[in-house]
Amino acid sequence: MRGSHFFTAGLLENQLPIYTPRLSVALGNSKYYEVSGFKSSLAKKIKMTILMLNKKESKELRLLKFLILILSLSLVSCVKSPAVNQNSSIASVPCQIDSGSSLTEATEDGLFIAHKSKSPLQIDGCNSDTIWSDVDWYAMNYLWMGDAVDSADYYGRFKLAWDSQYLYILVEVTDENLNPTLKDGLENYWKGDYVEVFVDEDKSGGNHQFNHQAFAYHVSTEGHAIDKNTLQETVFFDDHIEVARSQEGSKYFWEMAIKLFDQQFDENASTNTPVNISTQKSIGFSMAYGDNDGNSSRENFMGSKKTHGNNNDDGYINSDVFGSIVFIE
């Protein structure tokens, strides 16, 4: 059943996102495949069909099961949430990036300035957009968790820009071992590698763990923007962030366009209107990188501000600890 494995995995990576139940599907005698992204009613139907078929085993029946699975998957690909970003899987592509002679500034209090771009950016992981050569870097090397690292293990910095629709971020991370964020399953989303973007649109501060007055987007190597919903589930907010990544040796460039949503954001609504960005607007904001080098754990957590609350790990709960961005022309 090797063919079906690749088929299923391909769909998982590219087409089946979003916060709906997961389904374990048995194919043959021993293989199990976890499939996410189903509407619950459809998931039950598929599971029942396959349970029935499991009672008898023959080559023909296994083939039939496989065909049913393919048919089911092609059907459910039509019921994806409209909020899904189709570019949910990203590869590290080569890109002729010149990191340039820009300065890198570290600010202990995490207060940043973003300059306005005169034209929309191309989110391709490359820094060929004019604005990126016009602005300097900010450092994200404050050690929040783990032991001190050398610059081959981790070094990170980022640039900021904006227009009325998006906050743009270009992140440069040196990491000798890029580990797939969701390799060990969705609930390991915070164990790395990932870029964390903390956003509090109205700078209100306060608890945001299971509400949407602020977000802690865990931007995964697969291109998902992951946080908790109001039901305390781990879900994708892929419509909030478009991300592309390029690679130059052990240096990775993550380019993002982020929509800002205010506390009215309704995860159950089919559409939500992002907030327009204008000059002098200020938001709560921090950046971090969770570095996992293959030990199934977040070995280091490095941030853009000297401290980030209790154990420097309050950002995913409390937006009081965020730094900020002021948007200027």
In whole angstroms, how close is the CB of 111 to Ca ion at the nearest point? 17
In whole angstroms, how close is the CB of 250 to Ca ion at the nearest point? 9
In whole angstroms, how close is the CB of 238 to Ca ion at the nearest point? 19
In whole angstroms, how close is the CB of 291 to Ca ion at the nearest point? 4
**In the complex with Ca ion, which residue's Cβ is closer, 60 or 150?**
150
Torsion angle (degrees, nearest 10) of CA 57, 61, 63, 68: -120
**In the complex with Ca ion, which residue's Cβ is closer, 170 or 225?**
170
In three state form, how does the secondary structure of 46-104 look? HHHHHHHHHCCCCHHHHHHHHHHHHHHHHHHHHHCCCCCCCCCCCCEEECCCCCCCCCE
- Beta-carbon contacts of residue 42 (< 8 Å; ≥ 6 apart): 72, 75, 76, 79
**In the complex with Ca ion, which residue's Cβ is closer, 41 or 96?**
96
Give residues in contact with Ca ion (CB under 5 A): 122, 124, 126, 129, 153-154, 175, 177, 179, 193, 200, 202, 204, 213-214, 255, 291, 293
Handedness of CA 223, 227, 231, 232 (dihedral sign): positive
In whole angstroms, how close is the CB of 324 to Ca ion at the nearest point? 12
Tell me the residue type at 152.
A
**In the complex with Ca ion, which residue's Cβ is closer, 48 or 93?**
93
- What element of type H or E holds 130? helix 130-134
- What element of type H or E holds 134? helix 130-134
**In the complex with Ca ion, which residue's Cβ is closer, 81 or 297?**
297
Q: With b meaning 16 or more CB within 10 Å and e meaning fewer, what string describes 289-298? A: bbbbbeeeeb
C-alpha–C-alpha distance, residues 229 and 233, integer Å:
5
**In the complex with Ca ion, which residue's Cβ is closer, 196 or 293?**
293
* CB-CB contact of 270 with 82 (8 Å): yes
In whole angstroms, how close is the CB of 299 to Ca ion at the nearest point? 7
